[in-house]
Amino acid sequence: MMQTQKPHLIRLEVNYRGIFQKTLAYHISGDVVYAAHKEGKTAFSNGRYSDDPQRNGIPCANFAYFSKDLTEEDLEAEASASMDITEAEVVVVLDDTMVKGLEPWGGYGIRPINEKVVKDGVVLIVSNRKPADLIAQMEKKKFPYRIAILPGEASFAGLWYFKDDMTDVRVLGAIAKVAPEIASIDTVANYVASKYKSKEKAAAARKAYEEVKVSTVNAGEGIDWPYPKPILPGWKDFDEGVYVKGVKRGFQMGPRGQNRNPDFKRGTSKTQRPVVRFDLCTKCTLCWYDCPDEVFDPTTDGLYDVNYEYCTGCGRCAEVCPVEDCIVMVDELKFENQDSPYVLYKKDPENYVKWAEDKKGKERLMPSPVTGKGSTVSKVETPKPFKKGVVK
Ligand code: SF4
Ligand code: SF4
């Protein structure tokens, strides 16, 4: 009997933060398709069905398919009816804090960032961190794959308008390095030069090709995934119509005291989280009052606990808190869980303060997403010592 040969197919996923990185992700997933066309491949890209309308910071994804032997019709038949991609040879990650897990718009639970990568595939991350620090937050796989780091910060170039910082062409150059079977660096650089009429952009793509560092992640490296794996309902299982289940109004003092809708958890949308020095708090109520997501739970001693499962990391509370260093936004990758900081504080106030200062460190990051001029870091000289007498 004649064996049917499997068609040549490469699948690529681009993970990005909703709205902030939407334009950036669309540039990448569109341009990589055009570059592949230049080499005579069949290719197309699409946005994940469930991601629109998007919300700020929510993990979203585009995907793309490439083949050197399928016709356009056959490639479409193979892939275009999909609402999402199930496996990928190349997984691109535009914000490294997404390695903690993805909780997309559908809200069906927290997925590992490397969920879809296949054996010997590659996860390409824009990051200034070491591979080991990222792998330490990712799910362990039963097979080896590769991790590729393109040096850089999470770009918010696509916020409101496209303030170009060349992340799009740099990622294209990096894709040419980790998956030259999609398009070679020469093809990518020529495509970029002709599309943008810019030698600088083509040079940026070539430089990224050189800069990207690839290493192997062995089978079993990473963590046991701490969350239940989401099971998405098939289309026949969807309820008729669209509705949001209500939750009963309810309020009690103390951690997790307010009834919240579990479908609106936004834990994975944050790149930073607020760390509160309860011992410095003057109980002014401003954080509780101003938080757009009603994340603060009032407690019986007048302090305000943070429910990190619902925090978007917007930084508003840190902005309005009138006490210096009382609320500081800290890199999300420094935390292992979403536990209540107030409970930790009440257990051992002095130790909590040490823990909080350790997380805060001595540097304060000031992101500058709108100007696109990059982030600035300032040093903090002396973190305030534990102030006794606030806990009653
Ligand atoms: S960063 Fe602060 S204000 Fe923003 S959602 Fe989180 S707790 Fe609320
Ligand atoms: S804004 Fe700061 S001082 Fe005011 S209640 Fe919140 S943590 Fe306390």
Q: What is the pLDDT of residues 3-59, one digit of tens each?
A: 556 778 899 999 999 888 888 999 999 999 999 999 999 998 988 877 777 777 888
Q: What pLDDT, on a 0 to 100 scale, did the predictor assign at position 269? A: 81
Q: What pLDDT, on a 0 to 100 scale, did the predictor assign at position 79? A: 74
pLDDT tens digits for 71-94?
888 888 877 666 678 899 999 999
Ligand 1 near 274 CB (within 6 A):
yes
Q: Is the pLDDT at 391 greater than 60, yes or no? A: no
Q: Is the pLDDT at 389 greater than 90, yes or no? A: no
pLDDT tens digits for 251-272?
999 999 999 988 778 778 888 8
Q: How many other C-beta atoms can be found within 10 angstroms of the C-beta atom of residue 46?
A: 18
pLDDT tens digits for 281-334?
999 999 999 998 899 999 999 999 999 999 988 888 998 999 989 999 998 989
Nearest-atom index, ligand 2, CA of 282: 3
Q: What pLDDT, on a 0 to 100 scale, did the predictor assign at position 75? A: 85
Ligand 1 near 311 CB (within 6 A):
yes
Tell me what the pLDDT averaged over the chain comes to. Answer: 88
Q: What pLDDT, on a 0 to 100 scale, did the predictor assign at position 1? A: 45
Ligand 1 near 317 CB (within 6 A):
yes
> Using only C-alpha atoms, what is the Rg of the chain?
23
For the residues 343-356, what does the mean pLDDT come to? 96
For 300-305, the CB contacts below 8 A with 24+ separation are 300/253, 300/254, 301/391, 301/392, 303/278, 303/342, 304/276, 304/342, 305/254, 305/255, 305/256, 305/340, 305/341, 305/342, 305/343
Amino acid (1-letter code) at residue 199 = K
Ligand 1 near 315 CB (within 6 A):
yes
Query: Structural domains in the chain?
Result: 10-217 (3.40.920.10), 262-379 (3.30.70.20)
